[in-house]
Structure 1
């Protein structure tokens, strides 16, 4: 029986069991304090709190209970386990793609940690791997948000991470400490303390991790965060500061023969006949400092939400592709990258209430300024062969983003209408040492959204939403196109991507035993970006055409009895080119490139479907021996293509994760496992479409992690 058939059979059994449980045990079972996902409170862009049930969007929430039950080892793995969210990590940096909308080497959704943006660097990647799971209270993944509510570049989605705070414990002194040891000599440690004194509260947390990695992709991460909060009548002020230091050593994309020999060994990559070369891991040494001051006020129907923040990201990157071939050693280079990011936003709103009517108006402004500098050297280039490349890659750049937004929410009996409008102004200024300079402005761009809904049943929400937004490209697209200086990839010809998304959804909170949501989505991406090649030589990026992304998202959860809970998420992702062109190999064995018509082809790196199905068992809880929790999760995805012409296919994959946790009077011991069946799976990057067997060097095989088993202890007070 094929994998896809197994998956469909498993999902059918789980869904049938869910319906049976809801009919048999509705109204009995779980204690009152056990809430369902749809009851979860989230914070909207204007600062108001609302139940997930009442939101007119596809939002997936991971709460503290979900985090504690998950067998996954880090935050990136947990987020990418959400169907529709693909982790396209192929090096030391994490890139999420929601519904297949992300283009290569660029940031996906906007990610905020307690309001601090963590999309940094020339390509807008995230520092999500440095956030320990023990420090997170809640994760909200908004798959198609209104940019008027959530700020610029939200068209690809938004991820909001809320950390644990001392105010949530209700104690004057609280905290936790934990340690874990696992596969590949992985060591993790996390500690936090919180103090509350009258109107003031303080939090301090630290995290460290060292690991040899699955395939010699060593990592060494240190993170510290602090917060001071002041609660006053109607609102609060928070000052949050964090510092992260990370070192990563990781192999670049391997050739097929290297993966077949041993994907876990990097230093033995010379061919068996002694010819060829040895490939070395890249090295990234990075530190990120960020700080933010926030104000939230909600009293007497007046809403005020504002923040001002600063981030500084410094990365030393060593691109160590070759070792023992002197003719290729010159291609190794080192980048020194520094980015300063300034961020400001403020909104003010007013709630007008009457009999059966509520009207909320909110107006806001935001400004983001990024100053980036990159210096490149070729340390092994003794003859100056790469002087021109070095000068072209030495970049000074600025990016400015200004926006004004207006949001309106009208409620009348069972009806609700939400709408938003946003004005954008974005400018880029880049220079290198060739010399070459460009200046690009985008103004008068308008984003908007409209969403009517109706509560035709108690605890149910039927809605339809239409969002229109722009995605403004990262500076790395412009800087790399400058360095290649190709007539087909001129940086001044790049345009932002445009997103039009229609969602229709139904959310229904039936009982503790059975709750579900069903959402249909349809997204049109205009001016979608692709990588441009001449032969197998990358020459930058260009706007290719229009792609259409559509599918169905289903989420079900429940706690039919006190000793068992279940959850199921499933999404289809049908991503297809409506029209467009790319330069790629016509067939896998072709010896020359041609301009390919993309019309009707599947967008590469997008799986056909994704799913997660889980069961939580509570054999005993709050007994004199403590509490025991057993969690099982099956997750997987369908096949996908790695090239524009759909010649090269990556197979479907399924993974099993598990965690056993014992709690006793504040102490916790756990055993967790990820990919327990040790499924081997390679992420492949080869947009040219030329067969891997014909590429002895430079192809992109990235073996993904094998089985990980960890054991940990924690203490909460």
Structure 2
């Protein structure tokens, strides 16, 4: 059981301002980015590798995908991706939970430019407050990855990369409007290059703003004695700024720094009906690579998740969540293999007018990994030990194997263990928390087959995850907590199969996926029941085609029936939505686009009593240098 956190905003932009001051100095070198991510992925192994080389199931969302689909929010962008389902408490800005491969919403690790984000109180990341206008690409890696990243990576990792330049001079502009009084604006400038002696740098500045009057995001729940119907529009506003700069001193040394800040206001229904929010991530990296066999990098970062809570216009509490982290990683080529050794450090803090018994803890982790190819076969082995000042230690490991038995077909198999540390709410929330909680743990098996052909590619992955010591509310009274407390009392077993296809058919670029899940509780009163808010079937198809200066496309996303409660008494029906898009590039860098979403005006909910948007449209004008 988890509570949504509320945090007090801070108006200081000191860290971002300092980064903005040094950006021109890097730009003077006519610079290039220290790490190019267009043709590689980094999340599946913490080292750069070609997507086809990964021994895990990986989905990449590019900037081109984002601009073509023009989603209203990051949860909308993620909805229907392989293995992902979303439960949102209304429209833009409202709390959205992301379930990856049927695991809990706090069983996914979320990174922004390599910095771990997420609330130390509720445990989840505020996807709804990260503007899509600030995102360059997203890597979604499915499966257990605690052996590389530590806590939370039971279902997988979602790694968000902010905007970055691609040319020596790279300006961009986006303006748009739609119904519900929606407005979105974005503008940025960046540059990159290099000199003949392999020196150079890069810079990027991007600002964005969005606002919407919204719609009534909550319908009356007669079973809730504290429910007070409030049939009004629930609006949202978000202003954001991202900055980045880097410099390569020579072939061996380079440095980069990035920052993202988003702040806004969110209105909703309930005892508390408004909040001011801040999401801020600042990070930097120093890298030394004297030759092709050795790379050593030092990474530092801080993530802040802050909110002020209001009721009828009056302040009603705040929560501040802070994560400060650092890591030292070395990658060493040994013969035909690559050895990785690393050390991670993190301090989690909470500040609030709610009195917590403890407000800070430190986690230290050491990890090692071995990667090697043996002809047509590949191997990736990982081992990690985490020590936490609250609960002690946890050891996790993984083994991944691949066999490319033809030029077109590759078989993969893997096993991994993972864990999630209890949050400050689990441990110390007044009259509720249990300081004796142990981490939730899991073990997962996976078997996959993928093919790559002239017309495109496909993959099929079957997996099973068993989770022990799930933290749930235990009504058993204790002398300290006569009404019960959270305990490690639940277990779950999740089986599933994912299938994806990416093809060109009669000039149409088609991407499709379908996920079949059997996510069940295996303990207590809910033994045998489906886990709440997770459908047994999810599917999505995207099709796009260009006709000269014109482009057309459509997306269909479908979800089967789900239950909103562990007892499987509150059933939510399945649904399918259809989105259409039309674009016209009337000059080399200018595109006019119209998006029509939920064109058949389907009424549906991803969380019971929280309706989603009906038929809606959005028109945008975009400038992007080619």
Q: Classify the TM-score, shorter chain.
A: 0.7 to 0.9
Post-superposition shift, 1:234? 4.3
Describe how 1:693-704 pairs up with structure 2 within 5 A: 701-704=609-612
Q: Does 1:222 pair with 2:272?
A: no
Q: Secondary structure of the equivalent of 1:206?
A: strand
- Quick one: distance in 2 between partners of 1:667 and 1:316? 40
Q: Secondary structure of the equivalent of 2:96?
A: coil
Q: Is the Cα contact below 8 Å between 2:246 and 2:256 reproduced in 1? A: yes
- Quick one: distance in 2 between partners of 1:135 and 1:235? 28
- Quick one: distance in 1 between partners of 2:321 and 2:567? 36
- Quick one: distance in 1 between partners of 2:623 and 2:315? 46
- Quick one: distance in 2 between partners of 1:683 and 1:201? 41
Q: Which position in structure 1 is the counterpart of 2:602?
A: 679
The 10-residue stretch of structure 1 (302-311 or 538-547) with the greater mean CA deviation from structure 2: 538-547
Post-superposition shift, 1:363? 0.5
Q: Secondary structure of the equivalent of 2:273?
A: strand
Q: Deviations over 1:542-589 (max 9, x none)?
A: 33321100111000011244x3111110001101122x22xxxxxxxx
Q: Is the Cα contact below 8 Å between 1:100 and 1:605 reproduced in 2? A: no
Q: Deviations over 1:407-432 (max 9, x none)?
A: 0112111111110000011233xxxx
User: Which consecutive segments of 4 or more residues in structure 1 shift more than 6 A?
Assistant: none
Distance 1:218 1:635, change over 3 A: same
Q: Which position in structure 2 is the counterpart of 1:460?
A: 409
Distance 1:127 1:684, change over 3 A: closer
Q: Secondary structure of the equivalent of 1:478?
A: helix
Post-superposition shift, 1:319? 5.2
Q: Which position in structure 2 is the counterpart of 1:173?
A: 169
Q: Which position in structure 2 is the counterpart of 1:264?
A: none
Q: Which position in structure 2 is the counterpart of 1:546?
A: 491
Q: Which position in structure 1 is the counterpart of 2:544?
A: 616
Q: Which position in structure 2 is the counterpart of 1:706?
A: 614
Q: Is the Cα contact below 8 Å between 1:676 and 1:708 reproduced in 2? A: yes
Q: Does 1:449 pair with 2:398?
A: yes
Post-superposition shift, 1:81? 2.4
Q: Which position in structure 2 is the counterpart of 1:142?
A: 141
Describe how 1:117-156 pairs up with structure 2 within 5 A: 117-156=116-155
Post-superposition shift, 1:140? 1.0
- Quick one: distance in 2 between partners of 1:240 and 1:333? 33
Q: Which position in structure 1 is the counterpart of 2:30?
A: none
Post-superposition shift, 1:605? 1.5
- Quick one: distance in 1 between partners of 2:560 and 2:347? 40
Q: Deviations over 1:611-661 (max 9, x none)?
A: 0012112122xxxxxx22111010011111122222221111111112111
Structure 2 counterpart of 1:411, from 373, 387, 396: 373
Structure 2 residues not aligned, in runs of 5+:
1-37, 195-199, 217-232, 477-481
Q: Is the Cα contact below 8 Å between 1:44 and 1:50 reproduced in 2? A: no
Post-superposition shift, 1:515? 1.0
Describe how 1:180-199 pairs up with structure 2 within 5 A: 180-196=176-192, 198=194, 199=200
Post-superposition shift, 1:121? 4.8
Q: Secondary structure of the equivalent of 2:323?
A: strand
Q: Which position in structure 2 is the counterpart of 1:514?
A: 456
Q: Secondary structure of the equivalent of 1:50?
A: coil
- Quick one: distance in 2 between partners of 1:309 and 1:213? 34
Q: Which position in structure 2 is the counterpart of 1:636?
A: 558
Structure 2 counterpart of 1:374, from 348, 352, 361: 352
Post-superposition shift, 1:47? 4.6
Q: Does 1:660 pair with 2:582?
A: yes
Post-superposition shift, 1:149? 2.4
Post-superposition shift, 1:243? 1.9
- Quick one: distance in 2 between partners of 1:47 and 1:80? 25
Post-superposition shift, 1:288? 3.2
Describe how 1:299-310 pairs up with structure 2 within 5 A: 299-310=291-302
Distance 1:633 1:207, change over 3 A: same
If the length of structure 1 is used for normalisation, what is the TM-score?
Answer: 0.74
Structure 2 counterpart of 1:291, from 282, 287, 293: 282
Count of residue pairs the alignment pairs up:
557
Q: Deviations over 1:273-326 (max 9, x none)?
A: xxxxxxx66211122333111134553211223310123333111356xx9xxx
Distance 1:517 1:297, change over 3 A: farther
Q: Deviations over 1:8-34 (max 9, x none)?
A: xxxxxxxxxxxxxxxxxxxxxxxxxxx
Q: Deviations over 1:502-525 (max 9, x none)?
A: 1111111111x2310010010001
Distance 1:653 1:568, change over 3 A: same
Distance 1:195 1:538, change over 3 A: farther
Q: Which position in structure 2 is the counterpart of 1:209?
A: 210
Q: Does 1:43 pair with 2:32?
A: no
Post-superposition shift, 1:479? 2.9
Q: Which position in structure 2 is the counterpart of 1:64?
A: 63
Post-superposition shift, 1:340? 2.8
| Larger gyration radius, structure 1 or structure 2 | 1
Q: Is the Cα contact below 8 Å between 2:297 and 2:328 reproduced in 1? A: yes
Q: Which position in structure 1 is the counterpart of 2:222?
A: none
Q: Secondary structure of the equivalent of 1:68?
A: helix
Q: Secondary structure of the equivalent of 2:535?
A: coil
- Quick one: distance in 1 between partners of 2:556 and 2:306? 38
- Quick one: distance in 2 between partners of 1:406 and 1:233? 26
Q: Is the Cα contact below 8 Å between 1:522 and 1:551 reproduced in 2? A: yes
Q: Is the Cα contact below 8 Å between 1:71 and 1:658 reproduced in 2? A: no
Q: Does 1:342 pair with 2:324?
A: yes
Q: Which position in structure 1 is the counterpart of 2:504?
A: 559
The 10-residue stretch of structure 1 (520-529 or 58-67) with the greater mean CA deviation from structure 2: 58-67
- Quick one: distance in 2 between partners of 1:164 and 1:240? 10
Post-superposition shift, 1:165? 1.4
- Quick one: distance in 1 between partners of 2:243 and 2:48? 24
Q: Which position in structure 2 is the counterpart of 1:12?
A: none
Distance 1:203 1:111, change over 3 A: same
Q: Deviations over 1:467-511 (max 9, x none)?
A: 10111122122233x423xxxxx6034221111111111111111
Q: Which position in structure 2 is the counterpart of 1:313?
A: 305
- Quick one: distance in 1 between partners of 2:97 and 2:260? 21
Post-superposition shift, 1:94? 2.8
Q: Secondary structure of the equivalent of 2:128?
A: helix
Higher percent of residues as helix: 1
Distance 1:658 1:670, change over 3 A: same
Structure 1 residues not aligned, in runs of 5+:
1-38, 253-279, 324-331, 377-392, 429-440, 485-489, 582-595, 621-626, 686-700
- Quick one: distance in 2 between partners of 1:533 and 1:211? 41
- Quick one: distance in 2 between partners of 1:532 and 1:189? 47
Post-superposition shift, 1:237? 1.4
Post-superposition shift, 1:69? 2.2
Distance 1:675 1:462, change over 3 A: same
If the length of structure 2 is used for normalisation, what is the TM-score?
Answer: 0.84
Q: Secondary structure of the equivalent of 1:88?
A: strand
